[in-house]
Structure 1
Amino acid sequence: MSKADYPYPEDEFDAISPDAPTGVHRAPRSAWSRWWPFVVVLVVVPALAYGAVAYLSRTGDLPVVGGPTQGQDAPAEPDDEMVDEDAGEEDPAVGEGEATPDAEPTTPAAAPVLTTPVAVLNGARVGGLAGRVADELEAAGFTAVTPDNATGTLPAQSVVYMASEDLRPTAELVATTVGVPTVEVNPAQAGSGIKVLLVTDPDA
């Protein structure tokens, strides 16, 4: 709307003071009003950040870079006493089956020699006793068995004589086969081998 089309008469409010600004007008700004936001950003914000870091450092709430996250516990350090005790214990599986230095090697038992000469003497006055016992020894594997009759003084019980101690495994097998419990070392009676002197029938 132009001033010519204004329908109302002019009054005291329409009078314009020569000192009043005309149109859109702003007062000139000072240099401080232009720079103070930058001063706040450059000075106040770093100061607040430093104060926050210092406070968190004193309270222990400052997060550690690369450390455990919240809710996770740091790995526990191994206990020195537990490490020493474990180091002193030996695994029972280690060395199992190994012979100790003090253990003596076991010597295998000597096997009976079935080719050893064995004489079977009948002193029981039972017909065919020596031959029957000789057959039992041959059936057990002996290969040099001789049956015969006994002469001279007879012992109180049947005996298996052997010429030396090294013939004991063979003499014990003979005694077990014929059923005579007594085994003696007697070179005079046994000669160079083994002698079975029967004064009773072992099967009777």
Structure 2
Amino acid sequence: MPARLPSWAWVSGLTVGAIAAVSVLAVQADQGPHPTAVATKPKPSASADAHPTPKETAPAPVPEGSGTGRRVVYSVGKDRVWLVDASDATRRSFKVWPGTVDPDPGKYSVGTRRQDATTGSDGVRIEQIMYFTQEDGVWVAFSNAVDGSSPPPPVDGIKTGGIRLPKADGDALWEFGTSGTTVTVVS
């Protein structure tokens, strides 16, 4: 009469066999074709109607007097941001929606960065927040809405320091503006 294997041996053997089969399938899947993402346009929110997406008409030159070297330049008067590399070449420029509190012209540095979503002072879910100064008791920071919408119209008497960006520009700024990056604010 043959010896009988204990149940733990059967379970261990089946587990090893299953792991081996999954490993083989994973290797085969990694070598096969990969799906590509299809860009879909998010549905506009109610706030999108109040503030249409800023439109580009022509690339704007970096303001004179904004310094040299790698930096983020923010023009309060033009509601525009430039991402400038170390060779003083503009890598990207885009329009933004300012908060109700403008930072004073000057040089600052990106301080705290928060990628996780939170609720902004205007009640909108925001992400990729990059704080760079405090003005009139209000933190001033770049951010974008999680859903890509524009901010709602300002409420009288409420101070907001969020400089809101379209989603794609928020992604670009997040990659460019690491902690310590210079932010030059001009009029």
Instruction: Bin the TM-score by the shorter chain.
Output: under 0.3
Relative to total residues, which structure has the larger helix share, 1 or 2? Answer: 1
- Normalised to the residue count of structure 1, the TM-score between the two structures is 0.25
- Normalised to the residue count of structure 2, the TM-score between the two structures is 0.27
Relative to total residues, which structure has the larger strand share, 1 or 2? Answer: 2
Larger radius of gyration, structure 1 or 2?
A: 1
